[in-house]
Amino acid sequence: MKYKIESLGCSKNLVDSEEMVYILSQKGYEMTDDISKADFAIVNTCGFIEDAKKESIQTIFDVAEYKKQNLKYLIVTGCMVQRYYKNLKEEIPEIDALLGTTSYDMIDSVIKGLMIGENKSLILNPNKQLSHENKTNLTAKYYSYLKIAEGCDNSCTYCIIPALRGRYKSKKKEQIINEAKKLASNGVKELILIAQDTSKYGLDLYDKKILPELLQELSEIAGLKWIRFLYTYPEDITDELVDVVAKNEKICSYFDIPVQHSNDRILKLMNRSTSKKDILSKINLIRSTIPDAVIRTTLITGFPTETETEHKQLVKFIKEVKFDKLGAFTYSREEGTVAGNMNEQIKEDVKLARQKEIMDVQYEIVQEKNKALLGKTFEVIIDEINADYLVARSYRDVIEVDTVIIVKDFSDKHSVGDFIKVEITDILDYDLEGKEVI
């Protein structure tokens, strides 16, 4: 049987899809990119914020149209299922089976059940541990995401993730190392470690946070060229973590730190275990130890009760810190969260105006920082090859998240995934332009 899979949402969701694809391949199913030739389809949904939910619902409806033609079964999995199982079951009869966030390893059993007329939808306790070491990459061959933990214990008041993914569950270090070795042997050069919070890796298994130790051991794997780790919380940025990045050429000097706000009252309302003072001290630690380190952050604007004064304080904070990368998102009121029940919700037009002001400020910061890169040479990885230009990234950019370098003057002997040296020659808004250095 042939199937089509649609994976929505974050890279953590993508890894779940990759593990499902591996399971299905072992059972003899054949994946296809052409839904018109598929016997069944899987939509792996995201249910994090309102926009993600809308995208998931629209994708389900789009795929369901093919049940009028060739599709025998439509299976919906993931976060939105875990959150809205009853609603989906009642309101979209085209769905044949529903699998929650920790039941996708039962995908083959569910398909076999559908074939004999049984509906084996499974919505299990999200605290169940899934520790697969095998997956089929749905990304290009030269890079891969590796999920090192599942769930979250941070209990931020705006976030529904703990209810969807359960408590924090680290994958055993030996399993991660084995998986990384398999990926490297299959041609992966760039390894991207992900979790809801990578900085707390190991705390539940080893009674201590061992991300620095894990990074060091991964860096010893032959074949890996770049290692990244995303989603580190500011309170868990330690001297040890910064030192292992500073001393190891394979570990990209890139820190993804979602601070969300700078005002201590708002941070407390968010239930964030940090303060403006702590955030600034961690940024200073990174920059004093690794001068060329890239710091990326995300912010939430328009959190309930946020005053105009507190917003202006956040703008001032951004101007002072000058993050290398920054994304600002308007607060999304989510049912089932503490913040969703707070009084004094901010009007949508106010949230959008505040978001725009933050991003306008960040644009000026990026322009200033990009000018400082002119004339510098970086080792880059090639993501795309066109007739007259290459699309590449340095250690400063995460694929499909950050900006790119357009290389117009280059050798014609390259392949996607190759590393070359490029001198930055021009600024293209957020992106950069460069030429290959032979």
> Which tens digit of pLDDT belongs to each residue from 69-123?
999 999 999 888 988 888 888 889 899 999 888 888 889 989 999 998 877 677 6
Report the C-alpha gap between 380 and 393 in whole angstroms.
5
pLDDT of 352 > 80? The answer is: yes
> Which tens digit of pLDDT belongs to each residue from 300-344?
999 999 999 999 999 999 999 999 999 999 999 988 899 999 999
79 is in an annotated binding site: yes
The domain tally of the chain equals 3
- Please provide the DSSP assignment of 187-234 as one string: T--EEEEE-S-GGGTTHHHHSS--HHHHHHHHTTSTT--EEEE----G
On whether both 407 and 327 belong to a single domain, the answer is no
159 is in an annotated binding site: yes
On whether both 192 and 96 belong to a single domain, the answer is no
> Which tens digit of pLDDT belongs to each residue from 386-403?
999 999 999 999 999 999
Q: Answer for the pair 317, 262: CB distance below 8 angstroms, yes or no.
A: yes
339: which DSSP letter?
A: G
pLDDT of 228 > 80? The answer is: yes
On whether both 363 and 385 belong to a single domain, the answer is no
* Percentage with pLDDT > 70 across the chain: 98
- CATH code assigned at 403: 2.40.50.140
156 is in an annotated binding site: yes
Alpha helices (H) in 186-238, listed in sequence order:
203-206, 211-218
On whether both 308 and 204 belong to a single domain, the answer is yes
Report the C-alpha gap between 405 and 285 in whole angstroms.
28
319 Cβ partners below 8 Å, 6+ apart?
361, 365
What's the one-letter identity of residue 138?
A: L
27: which DSSP letter?
A: T
| pLDDT score recorded for residue 87 | 87
Residue 182 maps to a domain: yes
Query: Lowest-pLDDT range, 136-140, 241-245, 419-423?
Result: 136-140
On whether both 279 and 364 belong to a single domain, the answer is yes
| pLDDT score recorded for residue 71 | 93
The mean pLDDT value of the chain amounts to: 93
On whether both 118 and 148 belong to a single domain, the answer is no
Q: Answer for the pair 5, 40: CB distance below 8 angstroms, yes or no.
A: no
On whether both 163 and 40 belong to a single domain, the answer is no
Residue 43 maps to a domain: yes
pLDDT of 18 > 80? The answer is: yes
152 is in an annotated binding site: yes
Q: Answer for the pair 359, 318: CB distance below 8 angstroms, yes or no.
A: no
Full domain range(s) for residue 29:
2-123
On whether both 48 and 182 belong to a single domain, the answer is no
pLDDT of 132 > 90? The answer is: no
Residue 132 maps to a domain: no
Residue 138 maps to a domain: no
Widest distance between CA atoms in the chain = 65
More confident: 164 or 374: 374
> Which tens digit of pLDDT belongs to each residue from 363-383?
999 999 999 999 999 999 999
252 is in an annotated binding site: no
pLDDT band at 351 (very low <50, low <70, confident <90, very high): very high
- Please provide the DSSP assignment of 235-268 as one string: GG--HHHHHHHHH-TTB-SEEE---B-S-HHHHH
| pLDDT score recorded for residue 124 | 67
What's the one-letter identity of residue 350?
A: V
| pLDDT score recorded for residue 49 | 74
* pTM summary value: 0.92
pLDDT band at 133 (very low <50, low <70, confident <90, very high): confident
pLDDT of 129 > 80? The answer is: no
pLDDT of 412 > 90? The answer is: no
Other beta carbons less than 10 A from residue 388's beta carbon: 7
Span 132-146, mean pLDDT? 89
Report the C-alpha gap between 89 and 99 in whole angstroms.
11
| pLDDT score recorded for residue 51 | 82
